[in-house]
Amino acid sequence: MRREAVFLLLGLLWALDVGAQSPTTSGTAPPDNEIPAGASIYAKPKPPVRLETREGRLVRPGDQVDANDALDEILDEFAADVARLGANRVSPILLERVQVSENMNPEFASILEARMVSAIYRAVNVRVVRCFECYATHAEVDNGAWVVRRGISRREDLQALAKKYNAQVVLKASLTLHTSPNAMAFDVEFVRAEDSSIFFAEGYRVHPHTAMLYRSADKMQSREVRLKDLEDRINARPHFNHALHLGATVIPTVGHPDGAIWAAYTAYRFTEAFGEDRTWRAGVTLAGILNPTRMVGAVISGTLLSRLNPENVYSINCFGGGSVGFLLTGVQGNSPMLNAQLECVLAHRVTLQGSLGYLVPFKSSAESSYTVGGLSPQAGVAFTW
């Protein structure tokens, strides 16, 4: 009996020990804070970066520019102006009249209206309300006379319509197509309804050859550049230009058996841009002339250049001007020198340049019988920055 009690007690202790052991990890789920074996993690793709709308100009390579592209650029620029005015200052907008020039199909006015409103809606959250009375013809008897009016003809009518539509400003737009040369003009005007004052007016032009977008028919639309230029002028920050020239020059001689002097030419030019559009450049040129057997000299001159063609990122930009300086040779002699210069920037840095100068003739030395001077051509390349 005692033996059976011992075996029963040992069996009970064994059962309690097995139950206290932790289960094996095989076939069980991992804790919540652990990743199962073989699992993959996929990162959520980042949203694409939205490019901010920047003012620019429409410049396309080629001889022709599609009129629809130019018109879209104009309308987008106008919509950007509306956005800058602020929705709380212009919304709702009462659309009074959209018209086209006589050389265009009158039905295009409705297409222009739709594209203009679409461009505004893309740029800013405003309401554009169509004015039905603005196109209607009104007839009434005034002091015994039969009077016929079309559209808004009195200030009281404008105020009444604005109050009826709950509008702050009235929009008028006109598109003009010129054919000699081909050009497009878009003129808009916002009139404040409460006092009939002109709240905003602007004209947009497309250049007939370069398709550049202009404002008010004479200013190129590059506001950020013009603003920076104005800030630089106010803060007295100059715009410098540097150029390193490498080439060859020919200096004529009279009475020397070897003839003219052929020499290597190198120069460093330092100029500052000035003028309303910074088309002028004035500065100093330091040049060296080297012919090991016949002449070693330096030229110090003042330089003035001007842009010859309108600026265009797709065309070669050329400058013309001249310089007045002095040739210093030390042993052989010194003499004034005048140059007429022409250079063309091929893209941004490499420049083809040439000049035709006149060196006032002088005796090479007191003992020699030949003179140095006359028309002196020079040509080469330059690196500008």
Query: What contacts 202, CB < 8 A, 6 or more positions away?
Result: 78, 81, 187, 188, 215, 216
Give the predicted TM-score (pTM) of the model.
Answer: 0.50
Contacts 24+ apart (CB under 8 A), 256-261: 256/364, 256/370, 258/294, 261/291, 261/294, 261/295, 261/372
The pLDDT assigned to 195 comes to 81
CA-CA distance, 160 to 4, in Å (whole number)? 114
- pLDDT top residue among 15 and 31: 15
CA-CA distance, 21 to 301, in Å (whole number)? 100
In the structure, what pLDDT confidence band is assigned to residue 51 with cuts at 50, 70 and 90? very low
The pLDDT assigned to 211 comes to 59
Give me the mean pLDDT over the 268-273 stretch.
94
What does the pLDDT look like over 203-256, one tens digit per residue? 888 766 655 666 654 444 455 667 788 888 888 888 899 999 999 999 999 888
What does the pLDDT look like over 83-142, one tens digit per residue? 888 888 888 888 888 889 888 888 898 899 999 999 999 888 888 888 777 766 767 777
> Considering the chain, what is the average pLDDT of its residues?
80
Structure tokens at 290: 């080297």
Model confidence at 18: pLDDT above 80: no
Model confidence at 8: pLDDT above 50: yes
Measured in whole angstroms, the distance separating CA 39 from the mean position of its chain's CA atoms is 51
The pLDDT assigned to 313 comes to 66
